[in-house]
């Protein structure tokens, strides 16, 4: 009798263990994006535009930051030899922000030193502004993407509670849970886009600051160069 009772429990235990071995449902990233709703569209556009701006600006700033150690030495030799046209031609061939600064300064040789410095600083401001093109978009994305994500979450929560209320007597926790996790997708997406844009903005800003320091150093070298003949 005891053996029969034990044998009779085996199917029951096997049946109880069966659900534990069942594989949990998987949800791909694409499925999550689709469940985020219409808010995912502007977030996707913001991410694509931000990536484009970052890559394009990175290439431009990288080119602008290239430094030729022999540039100022050659400019100095040309000016001391009175070859102003050769110095300007070298600036045109170099085609970097600091070369355009020096070219403007060379074109003002013979005028008061303050006028030369002002002309160089004006060109420097223009060059820095060119390098910072598109930074406003990255800053806006860094601040706006999380807000869009929160907006999607709020609207999703409203829909979730509306579905729960509409279910009436058939309402259960799964109705609410499904709506909530779908709503939170937009928050996650907004934070990801915002964080990426923020890091991109800060990185590019640091690179521009490096170029600005380079421009200041070249300006000081050029002004010292103009003062050398007077000191002799």
pLDDT digits (tens, 9 = 90+) for 102-157: 999 998 888 888 888 999 999 999 999 999 999 999 999 999 999 998 888 888 78
Q: What's the half-sphere exposure (Cβ side, CA atoms, 13 Å) at 145?
A: 28
Alpha helices in 67-134 (DSSP H): 71-80, 84-94, 97-107, 113-131
| Strand intervals (E) in the chain | none
In this prediction, residue 175 carries a pLDDT of: 65
- In this prediction the pTM is 0.77
DSSP code for 169: G
Q: What is the mean pLDDT of residues 171-200?
A: 82
């Amino acid at each position: 009798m005891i053996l029969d009772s034990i044998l009779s429990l085996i199917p029951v235990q096997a049946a109880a263990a069966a659900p534990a071995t069942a594989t949990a449902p998987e949800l791909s990233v694409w499925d999550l994006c689709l469940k985020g709703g219409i808010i995912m569209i502007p977030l996707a556009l913001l991410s694509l535009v931000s990536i484009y701006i970052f890559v394009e600006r990175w290439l431009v700033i990288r080119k602008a930051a290239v430094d030729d150690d022999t540039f100022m030495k050659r400019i100095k030799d040309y000016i001391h030899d009175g070859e102003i046209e050769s110095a300007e031609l070298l600036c045109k061939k170099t085609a970097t922000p600091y070369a355009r600064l020096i070219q403007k300064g060379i074109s003002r040789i013979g005028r008061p030193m303050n006028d030369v410095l002002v002309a160089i600083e004006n060109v420097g401001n223009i060059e820095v502004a060119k390098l910072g093109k598109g930074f406003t978009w990255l800053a806006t994305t860094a601040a706006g993407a999380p807000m869009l994500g929160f907006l999607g979450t709020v609207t999703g929560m409203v829909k979730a509670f509306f579905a729960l209320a509409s279910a009436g007597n058939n309402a259960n926790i799964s109705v609410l849970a499904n709506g909530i996790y779908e709503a939170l997708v937009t928050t996650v997406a907004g934070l990801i886009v915002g964080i990426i844009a923020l890091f991109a903005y800060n990185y590019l800003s640091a690179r521009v600051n490096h170029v600005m320091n380079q421009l200041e150093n070249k300006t000081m070298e050029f002004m010292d160069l103009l003062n050398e003949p007077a000191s002799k």
